[in-house]
Amino acid sequence: MQKRQNKHPDPTPWLFLAPSLCGVTLFVLAPFVETVRRSVTDTMGQHFVGLANYTAVLGNDAFRLAVENTVRFIGVCVPLLLALSLALALALRAKGLKNTSWAEVCRTTFLLPMALPVASLALLWKVLFAQNGLVNGTFGTHCDFMGTDAAFWVLVGTYLWKNIGYDSILWSSGLDSISTDLYEAAAVDGASGWRQFTAITLPNLLPTLAVTLVLSLLNTFKVFREAYLVAGAYPEKSIYLLQHLFNNWFLALDLPRLSAAAILMAGALGAVIAVCIKRL
């Protein structure tokens, strides 16, 4: 005799998920819905104004400058980070280094920047790159790093230094998932190291690339903390990012434009992430 199927699903999983779902609804979904509403209302949030706030944002010079700098920063940092962290992961897996204590020490060392407090990094910036800082003192230069376009490259260097170790760990996990039998078979067939890399390593790293790319993209928005602590709310224009703009509009209580800009950024970021995940 067949057992009677239970028509009522087991509620146990939902009971475990309930706290998380309540938290996400209360602290993520509800504020997002309110942001969407405020983006199409007036300053007091009482009267519907249509797309007027979006038009004002898109026509704002500060917004265009912030978008240009943010896109430039992402376009420079993310490809460099992916390439350098992959090279580091491959170097740590080279013959003679793989599964050695030296490789473990290197991985731990490269992860240390992520554990440092942001205030310490800001202090380090000031010590190194001030007008009379250690860099100018050591090399005999007189570059105003934080007052010229050089500030952009300081920001790029900080992002790479802080995230390269984390990304190399992600790449290492992807490399570990590739069967060594593939490399052995390719070596028997006479494939060179570069041919093995392009035909075996890269294709099998595409799932890891999708995750690493998305996380690297999201981490570009976290470098604002260092830039704000060092250069303030109105830094040199080459590092005036969207986060600076949002912070300044929030302090000015310009909530309609802030909400509209946040929705535009969320839409653009979501579209980029969706394309990355779908293509990779």
Using DSSP's 3-state secondary structure scheme, residue 175 falls into: helix
Q: What is the pTM of this model?
A: 0.84
pLDDT at 96: 55
pLDDT value for 276: 81
Q: Which residues of the chain register pLDDT less than 70?
A: 1-7, 95-100, 103, 280
Specify if 26 maps to a domain: no
Do the domain assignments include residue 258? Answer: yes
Residue 60 forms part of a structural domain:
yes
CA distance linking residue 89 with residue 111, whole number of Å? 13
Report if residue 138 sits inside a domain. yes
The reported pLDDT for the residue numbered 25 is 92
Residue listed under structure tokens 């699903």: 9
Provide the domain limits for residue 233: 52-279
CA–CA–CA angle 67, 70, 72 (5° rounding): 105
Number of compact structural domains in the chain: 1
Q: Tell me, what DSSP letter sits at residue 9?
A: P
CATH of the domain at 229: 1.10.3720.10
- Does 74 fall in a domain? yes
Nearest to 278 by CA among 213, 218, 216: 213
Q: Is residue 14 included in any domain, yes or no? A: no
Cα dihedral 160, 162, 166, 168 sign: positive
Identify whether 21 is part of a domain: no
Does residue 35 sit within a domain? no
Q: pLDDT value at position 97? A: 60
Q: How far is CA 36 from CA 66, 100, 258, 270, 278, in A?
A: 21, 52, 11, 15, 26
